[in-house]
Amino acid sequence: MNSQYKRKQVLVNRRVQFRVLGCVLVFWAAYHVVLWHVMLGFHFLQYCGARLAGGPPQPFSGFFGEFVDQHYSMLVCAVVVLPYLIWDVLKLTHRFVGPLVQFQRCLAALTRGEFVKDVHIRKGDFLGELRDSFNAYLSSPYAPRPWKEAPPAAAAERDETVTIEDEALALLTEVEQLQATVQGESQPVECASAGQ
DSSP per-residue letters across 87-113:
HHHHHHHHHHHHHHHHHHHHHHHHHTT
Mapped onto helix, strand or coil, the DSSP state of residue 137 is: helix
Amino acid at 7: R
Q: What is the pLDDT of residue 111?
A: 83
Rounded Cα distance, 181 and 11, in Å: 76
Rounded Cα distance, 50 and 58, in Å: 11
Residue 191: pLDDT band with limits 50, 70, 90 = very low
Cβ atoms of 86 and 17 within 8 Å: the answer is no
Q: Dihedral, CA atoms, 158, 159, 164, 169, nearest 10 degrees? A: 100
What's the distance, CA 190 to chain centroid?
77
Percentage above 90 pLDDT, the chain: 18
Average pLDDT value for residue range 107-133: 84
Listed by start position, the domains of the chain span 9-138, 152-185
Q: What is the pLDDT of residue 155?
A: 52
**Alpha-carbon separation of residue 192 from 97, 145, 183, 187, 196 (angstroms):** 89, 69, 15, 9, 7
Percentage above 70 pLDDT, the chain: 79
Q: What is the pLDDT of residue 192?
A: 43
Average pLDDT value for residue range 123-129: 84
Lowest mean pLDDT among 33-37, 98-102, 136-140, 141-145: 141-145
* CB-based burial, 4-22: b 16+ in 10 Å, e otherwise: eeeeeeeebbeeebeebbe
pLDDT higher than 90, residue 83? yes
